[in-house]
Amino acid sequence: MDLKEIMEMDSRYYMNTFGQRTPVCFEYGQGICLYSSDGRKYYDFLGGIAVNALGHAHPALVEAVCSQARKLIHCSSLYYIESQARLAKMLAEVSCADRVFFCNSGAEANEGAMKLARIYFKKKGMPEKYGIITLRDSFHGRTLATVAATGQEKYQKPYEPLMPGFRHVQKNDIEALKAAIDDTTCAVMMELVQGESGVHPLDRDYVQAVRRLCEEKGLLLIIDEIQTGMGRTGKLFAYEHYGVEPDIFTLAKALAGGVPIGALCAKESVARAFEPGDHGSTFGGNPLACSAGLAVLRTMLDEKLPENAEKMGSYFMGELKRLSETHGIISGVRGLGLMIGIQLAQDKAVEVKNRLFGRGFLVGSVGTSVIRLLPPLIINKDDIDIFVRALGDVLASL
């Protein structure tokens, strides 16, 4: 089937949630590259929006998925699942969490985190504590509860009235957070690097102040590591950069390298609030997804991919900053590890993205003035140099 036929079929039968997509259909990938139905090669600097951390067709992940699919894809959590138990154990061993629950997406993981925070206080005899404070410009998902938690009006407006129980405060403003806490507050939830609003790392002092405030007020700290977790920022988890430990954190995206999975991770003192019947998932933690997750996590540790993300991210941002000295249209470069935002001085982000696509490079744009980069963690200096030269040519042509 050629691209035109695929586009016509999509237009006729698929719900119009994505509008006019970028006109390409990929048939296969290898390493950091994708190959389209017309045989063209593209360098993937978006990584499936931070999902393809191992790149495409990594042998360890392919073998794990194929091997498990030949044996058992799904049974049910009514029965014990070896890969589920092994992945939960491995995540607990490499993080500050003691227990893990698996679901199918980041939004589900965040829903689970909010449910756990509420039931934790309910079982402590404080049912009045249900409110959750999040940050403006945040993004926590597209379900009704996570839309309410998200601090961006454009995602919320179509679904008003929003679910109650959420307040939003300005990031990096501890006084605003203090003022928002009342007798109903049970938790503070935040991303340490806000990705969907343009790659904005939080201030380290602020995050540490939030941790202290939660301890003083008896609140839970929930960290959304959906996009920042699994090595993306140069550490296995972004909270490691900030010198804090959350009571609850969530994972998804890169955890299984593209196989749908989400994880709700918590310390024992909080996790024990969930008892049989309090939460569940039909597909969550199935043998296929957990086998993929085990392969990804082992590969990340064995190949030292978080360390590579830190090293290559530093190099990448340095090269981009040097490029900004030549091209004044770049007004700033920010990020952490291989989670990078290029701030443009003009509303040219979509045009730059499209021109890079024309040259065989996939990137993201946020709004009208930010280019977002989330390449696979296997990237090397040669890949970065190729991209920087292409970006320089595009900027020179504007």
Active site residues: 139, 224, 253
Which residues have a Cβ under 8 Å from the Cβ of 70 and sit 6 or more positions away?
none
Instruction: Report how many helices (DSSP H) and strands (DSSP E) the chain contains, helices first.
Output: 15, 17
Residue with tokens 């695929």: 6
CB atoms within 10 A of CB 279: 17
DSSP string, 262-276: EEEEE-HHHHTT--T
Q: How far apart are CA 235 and CA 304, in angstroms?
A: 10
Closest residue by Cα to residue 210 from 202, 265, 131, 194: 202
Say how many CA atoms lie within 13 Å of 349 toward its Cβ.
Answer: 19
Q: How far apart are CA 298 and CA 350, in angstroms?
A: 37
DSSP single-letter state for residue 248:
E
Q: How far apart are CA 191 and CA 110, in angstroms?
A: 11
DSSP string, 4-48: HHHHHHHHHHS-SSS-S--S--EEEEEBTEEEETTS-EEEESSHH
| Whole-angstrom Cα Rg for the chain | 21
Which residues have a Cβ under 8 Å from the Cβ of 211 and sit 6 or more positions away?
221, 244, 245
Query: Is the sign of the CA dihedral 349, 225, 19, 27 positive or negative?
Result: positive
